[in-house]
Amino acid sequence: MALKPETLLCPRPEGLYCAPGDFFIDPVRPVDRAVITHGHADHARAGHGLVLATQATLDIMRVRYGDDFAGQVQALAYGEIVNRSGVEVSLVPAGHVLGSAQVVVRWKGMTIVVSGDYKRRRDPTCLPFQPVPCDVFVSEATFALPVFRHPPDTEEIAKLTKSVEQFPERTHLVGAYALGKAQRIIRLLRESGYDKTIYVHGALERLNALYENHGVDLGPIEPATSDKGDDLAGEIVIAPPSAIADRWSRRFADPVGAFASGWMRVRARARQQGVELPLVISDHADWDELTGTIAELAPGELWITHGREEALARWAELNGIAARPLSLVGYEDEDA
């Protein structure tokens, strides 16, 4: 009798569970053994007994949660294999943020790949997604609707630098999530030729330092601490999205409110949030990247963990791939 994938990996309230190896992948509540795909808070939570992840992800969790975020930790390099009760586990790059990984689980000739969050386009702050042939591909579906087709990030960065040139009397205040998006925006600005000092909210400083320690050169950066609004006229300030609507933002010179997110493709959402300069820059795969990845891998089955599950499942079925929405709860898309 053929081995059923559910024997190797199955959804439970805590998250995806590997019964033969007795561990969870990205559990949403504390468990004895957890494999973590990346450092965003909806996937990487504190309180587990043992955490296995890339060194960069462990470092991110330490910055966010403190030294005692888990009972024990085990760093696994990309491509390195560990064996847990006959189950082989390895991590390969996911292209999402620094240290992000897909989890490759092999047992009795079956391979299941759990993508975590991923994207396929180049990101100067992390290694690119590595396709792994598999029997079951477990994919996210944050932007799994045909309307979501992200433009080249170089074009969006050009919009930002052009606006800075057009409005030198104003501060450009860019909302970007503290882990991954902020550092990617900074690197993309550097690659575009923007070599001026970039000012950042204090919430970004420790993660920026961590990226620098992992070899990502962010160039000249200073804290945006001036109490005099016109001090930063003509400059770019990067801050968490929550700070853009806060009193903190009022110190700057007639700020241009920008927001870097895949959700900025939805104009109504940008208007509702009062975003003057929407930048469609996402750390998640868009519709074409999702469907292209699935077509490339051609897995026997597609499991969909979170996001727009129904549309992606329908696409898969129309293309001859059995699909199963897992309807896992506890994962957000706020880092999009």
pLDDT tens per residue, range 96-151: 999 999 999 999 999 999 999 999 999 999 999 999 999 999 999 999 999 999 99
Q: What angle do CA 223, 194, 40 make, to 5 degrees?
A: 55
Residues 247 and 1: their CA atoms lie apart, in Å, by 64
Distances (CA, A) of 248 to 64, 164, 227, 239, 257: 22, 21, 9, 10, 13
Q: How do 70-75 and 23-25 pair as beta strands?
A: unpaired
- Taking only the tens place, the pLDDT of each residue in 312-322 is 999 999 999 99
pLDDT band at 335 (very low <50, low <70, confident <90, very high): low
3-state secondary structure 251-314: HCCCCEEEEECHHHHCHHHHHHCCCCEEECCCCCCCHHHHHHHHHHHCCCEEEEEEECHHHHHH
- For residue 42, pLDDT beyond 70: yes
Cα-based torsion angle of the residue sequence 166, 236, 175, 54 in order, rounded to the nearest 10 degrees: 130
Q: What is the pLDDT of residues 189-235, one digit of tens each?
A: 999 999 999 999 999 999 999 999 999 999 999 999 755 556 899 99
Q: Are 117 and 40 in contact (CB under 8 A)?
A: yes
Q: What is the pLDDT of residue 211?
A: 98
**Stated pTM of the model:** 0.94
Structure-token pair, residue 203:
């919430």
155 pLDDT higher than 90: yes
Longest dimension (CA), the chain: 72
**Mean per-residue pLDDT for 2-28?**
95
pLDDT of 273: 79
* Residue 176's pLDDT band (cuts 50, 70, 90): very high
